Every structure is written in structure tokens, then in C-alpha cells.
Amino acid sequence: MMVAEAIKDYVVEEGLRMGDRLPGEAEMITRFGMSKGTIREAMRILEAQGLVKTRTGPGGGSFVHEVSRERARALLGNYFYFRDLTLKDIYQMRRWLEPELAASLAGKLDAGQLAALEEVVQSYDHPSADIEEEREQHVASLRFHQLLADYARNELLGFVIGFMAQILSDLTVYRRLYEPANPELWARGRAYQLDLLEALRGGDPDRARRVMADHMATAEALMEGQETLMVKRFLNV
């Protein structure tokens, strides 16, 4: 692991970017004073982390690779897989962070970005007709928040919020929190998102912050109600 860290330091010191070729194995052995087996193990670790890409054949070798946002979220999701995350845990973070994200984006989104957000909201412009459509609408409503996160000027803030939206989406599907259908959750959530779009388009950060804060508080209460119903159904109470 120490050698893998040393190779990462080398990449930074040399200013290597995605797609740049790393030194060959023989040069690595000489540079880091380690055995062939140790170098190969270090490279396997870096490849598993997504920081190195190895290609075989003519022109092959090891190259610097950039970890995608999706892969980073998936790896972080694995960390939380066996931890008992609750809706309260997730919404505590969402209530802290998402209002500030909304405020920071007011008046900063271009026409294409606003249109993309509006397109998501329009994809659930009617109450669900069946439980499958209910599930799809829950996932789509969280995609609205993931898209907002993608537009964040602060990459760390955007990554954290996007990750929370993803794990909440996974949790909703896994725990079937979209059952039974909840017209109030759909109607109020969509109304908040449309109100938020107006604030973003109008460049009103205070309104955007307030709308998102209310949206998160309402969503938390309604989703916890969904969870309570599911537990009662499971226990046949």
C-alpha cells in the first residue's frame, strides 16, 4: 500500500493527467527500489481504485485514469452497504446542504440546464397509475436533485448531495418505500420543485434556499410516514 501511495505522489509531482503513460515496470522497480511483485501489487491496487488503466497489445501499458463521479459514488456506496443508514441520517444531511446548494445556483444556471431540470419535473406531471409508475416517479424526483448537484460550482458539495440522492433512491427501491402510492408526496414534492425552478430562473437565492428547506422538511416527514406504513405491513399490524 505504501508503494501505491508513492506512485500516486509521483503522478502528482510529475503533473501527469488522465491518459498519460506511466513508467514501465523495470523503471518502476528502479525508481521505487522495490521488487517486481511489490510493484505489480501496487499497480493492481491503483487499478482497483480506478486511478490506473492497463492496456495490453501494441501501444499498451499503464496509464493514469480519472475516477468518474459514478464510480466514486458506487465505491462509497459499498462502504455504507452494511451500515444501518436511516432516513433521518440522510435527511439530516440533506436539510443542511441542499438549501445552500439551491441558493448558490439561483441566477447561475443557463437555459439548457434549466430546461433539463424542467424536463425531469415534467416526466411526472400526473399522479401514478400503478405501483410501477409510482416507483419510477420516486426515482425521477430524486434525479432532479442529482441533476442540481451536477450543476454545483462547489464540486465537493455537489458530490456529497448527489451521493445522498443516489443512496436515497437505492434505499427507496430496496425498501419499497414507494408503496403504497402517496399522492400527497407526489403533489407537494412536485410543487416545491416547480417553485424552486422559478426561484432559480429568477435569480432569487433567499427564495431558493427557503423553498428547498421546506421541501426537505416535508419530504422527510412524508418519507418517514411511508417507512412506518411499510413496517406495519411487514409486521401485519
pTM: 0.79
More confident site: 61 or 141:
141
Model pLDDT, residue 233: 58
The answer to whether residues 214 and 192 touch, using CB atoms and an 8 Å cutoff, is yes
- Spatial distance between the Cα atoms of 177 and 185, rounded to a whole number of angstroms: 11
- Spatial distance between the Cα atoms of 227 and 237, rounded to a whole number of angstroms: 14
Given a cut of 60, whether residue 38 has pLDDT beyond it is yes
In tens, the pLDDT along 136-193 reads: 999 999 999 999 999 999 999 999 999 999 999 988 888 888 888 889 999 999 999 9
